[in-house]
A and B are shown apart, each in its own frame.
Chain A
Amino acid sequence: MAIKFPSEEWIKEWENRLNTSESYAQAAANWEGDNIIVILPDENYTQTTYIYINLQHGKASDACFLKSLDEKKALFTSTAPFGTWRKVLEGRIDVIQAMFSNKIRLIGSMAAIQRQPKATYELVKVAGTIDTDYGS
């Protein structure tokens, strides 16, 4: 059964899948950095949502919703409207392309992203394997 995005269940499923993905473990073996994903409202989504996930050396932990950006600091903050995140998760836009085209606004070290683009690519690819209900 499809899991609603975004939801606690979806976030935990993502974390679990990252921790069992060999391809993510390999691509992100040198990755160090937690991430806040900001989902902005658009015509199909009415609120601003913050998702935190800690990513260290190919493993994920502490995935949860945040109430605001003040609740926790992270090395990376990636911001985009709901529709853009949906396209990225469905593989209709490559996440790296989305960053370079300013569709996802990134705050944080570009060096990490550009040195290890596969870590970001696999992070999203794993999320894309979840049977997801986007609500429309």
Chain B
Amino acid sequence: MHGYMGRILHVDLNRGRLWDEALNEEYTRSYVGGSGLAARCLYDVLDAHTDPLGPDNTLLFLTGPLVGTSMTSAGRYSACARSPLTGIWGEANSGGFFGPELRYAGYDGVWFTGASDHPVWLSVVEGKADLHDAGDLWGSDIYITQTRLRESLGEAKARMACIGLAGEHRVKLAGIANDHGRFAARTGMGAVMGSKNLKAIAVRGKGKVPLFAPDEFRIITNQVLALFKEDMPSKSLREFGTAGYVNVGHMFGDLPIRYFQLGEHAPADALSGVDMTEKFLRRNTACHKCIIACGRETRSPAYNDDKVDGPEYETIGALGSVLMIFDLEAVIHAGHLCNLYGMDTISLGVTIGLACELFERGLLTPADTGGLEIRYGDAEMVFRLIELTARREGFGAVLAEGNAALAERAGVPELSVTVNRLEVPMHDPRAYVGMAVTYALSPRGACHMEGNMYDLDMGQSNLEDVGLVMGNRHENSIEKGRTAARLQAWRNLYNSLTLCEFENPPVPLLVGAINAATGWNVTGDDLMNAGKRIVNIKRRLNFKLGMTRADDRLPELLLKPLEKGGSAGIVPDMPTLLAGAYAEFGWDPETGSPPEDIPL
């Protein structure tokens, strides 16, 4: 199989048994790789009785066909399982070098089943896989873990994916760290690793991805590289990282402030990514073959943090403006603590945000929190709550269950800002109404990576060839719903190719690269259809796990208009937008089901 290493490593953690299986060609051709292929594989083995934190849940790491090649932005991997946070399809994606290195080590993916009776870590070096005792690593933060594994292997260039304390304690907001401080953060995949007593995976290899037409592939990837050197969004990402969007997002009413209840607040401009670059940036960091290098390595002198991965825009919003903390150094430090313990900054920030709001409303008191006063703007309290959550100590054990569980516990589920129990990221659907569709229909719950309408309606794409063009960000229409659905399909394709969405080569170049890599003969329309197929398999799996059409909704708080700012007075018209999206996907308007005549 050109474009693929052709095999998956299976690891039965119950028995400590490892074996190779050939990649299923039929599934791969239809579902491409990454999270799409994972969904097709897991559809066969997950059901409503699968305990997300039990040994019968399976955890699948997968890459896509361009990963590890010379294609820019193709350095990602997906980690997928039933989510302990949401109970539905769980998926987390991350960049860096782990995905490419796994392929160089000889595999497209690793499939874990069962659970070990003691902590273990997995090494995959030059096609040889082994399980090792991780007793001495258990309790270590993600940085120490990676350093010690590298030493243990004697491979300075080994790449790791691992969990921190939060994953070990099965905190439902726990992510998987790789390549220092990059994260496959969402839906609690770190807790799934922890439930399996799996501390880490270390990979190293010198293999090459077999390409169908390597010369043609190289020409195309060089063309793609040239395009992004002068591209304005790419230059902005290079200079300021995703944090460069803070002030623009604030102006548009897209940056959530005070738990999604303020559309404008002047102090929020102090969280500027430009300021962060000028005052606290140590250096840019890049993923495999990326020319943008949007990653940040910062410092926070006020908190004696000399080297911090991030923060990205999402972290600045979730641990900053949502919590009314407008001190960049405090936000950098809070992000660093989340990194150390291995937690999703979006989910934790939005969960702490709810705790602040409940306190404001008198629905949470020190009697509920072990004496803690949880108030907006209190950075020291946030640091404390991060520590408590990672260890599941005191009120941290409540926060460890996530925002929806906290709202239910307080008797106010209407104050939860989640979709299908996943915390809403830092793009407000009142600022870009297409995001309402993205969130409501995202197979893993509220997720901005499943359809970045804020980028499309900012004009940042080259996707006209598949019918994706910039529109009015406040337009509530059937066509907007259709566009958001198409973009959701395209981004699900990206998460299956495991490409980064920050670099969008024109469709003909992407098609050319895929065909030159795999020997396929696909068109742009074929790729869009593959994206829809991938959304559909995830939806079918979610319905199998208990989801219904009634779950296609936004949280109540996001359907109330903001009083001020660049999106004041705007609310998404959900019936209209969803009607457009259902029509685009071909789903039954009554049941929301994908057509049964679409083959799996």
A interface residue numbers (CB < 8 A to B)? 93, 96-103, 105-106, 110-111, 114-118, 121
Contacts and interface: CB of A to CB of B under 8 A. Distances in A.
Nearest to A92: B472
A74 to B, nearest CB: 18
A111 B235 contact: no
- The 8 nearest A-B residue pairs measured at CB: A101-B459, A115-B274, A111-B274, A117-B248, A117-B251, A102-B232, A97-B458, A100-B458
Contacts of B278: 111
A96 B248 contact: yes
Contacts of A97: 457-459, 470
A114 B239 CA distance: 11
Nearest to B456: A101
A100 B233 contact: yes
B459 A103 contact: yes
Interface in B217-235: 231-233, 235
A129 B458 CA distance: 23
Contact of A110 (B239, B458, B459): B239
Given A101-B459, A103-B459, A121-B251, A111 B240 contact: yes
Contacts of B274: 111, 114-115
B273 interface: yes
Given A114-B247, A114-B273, A118-B251, A101 B236 contact: no
B240 A114 contact: yes
A98 B273 CA distance: 20
B275 interface: yes
Given A100-B232, A102-B232, A111 B277 contact: yes
Judged by DSSP, the binding face of B is helix
Nearest to A105: B232
B244 interface: yes
A105 B232 CA distance: 8
B295 to A, nearest CB: 18
Given A97-B470, A101-B470, A102-B232, A111 B459 contact: no
Contacts of A93: 459
B236 A114 contact: yes
B272 interface: yes
A96 B247 CA distance: 11
B239 A111 contact: yes
B420 interface: no
A97 B248 CA distance: 10
Interface in B510-528: none
A39 to B, nearest CB: 19
Interface of B: 231-233, 235-236, 239-240, 244-245, 247-248, 251, 269, 272-275, 277-278, 457-460, 470
B456 to A, nearest CB: 10
B453 to A, nearest CB: 13
B236 A100 contact: yes
Contacts of B460: 100-101
Contact of B272 (A102, A105, A115): A115
Given A100-B459, A114-B244, A115-B275, A106 B251 contact: no
Contacts of A115: 247, 269, 272, 274-275
A136 B233 CA distance: 33
A97 B457 CA distance: 8
A99 B269 CA distance: 20
Nearest to A103: B459
Contacts of B244: 110, 114
Contacts of B275: 115
A14 B496 CA distance: 50
A99 B248 CA distance: 12
Contacts of B231: 102
A100 B473 CA distance: 15
B423 to A, nearest CB: 26
A101 B251 contact: no
A132 B269 CA distance: 34
B501 to A, nearest CB: 15
Most buried by A among B231, B232, B278, B470: B232
28 contacts: A96-B248, A96-B251, A96-B458, A97-B470, A99-B232, A100-B460, A101-B232, A101-B233, A101-B458, A101-B470, A102-B231, A102-B232, A102-B459, A103-B459, A106-B232, A110-B235, A110-B236, A110-B240, A111-B274, A111-B277, A114-B236, A114-B240, A114-B247, A114-B272, A114-B274, A115-B269, A115-B274, A118-B251
Contacts of B277: 111
Contact of A117 (B232, B247, B470): B247
A78 to B, nearest CB: 12
Contacts of A111: 239-240, 274, 277-278
Contacts of A99: 232
Contacts of A98: 459
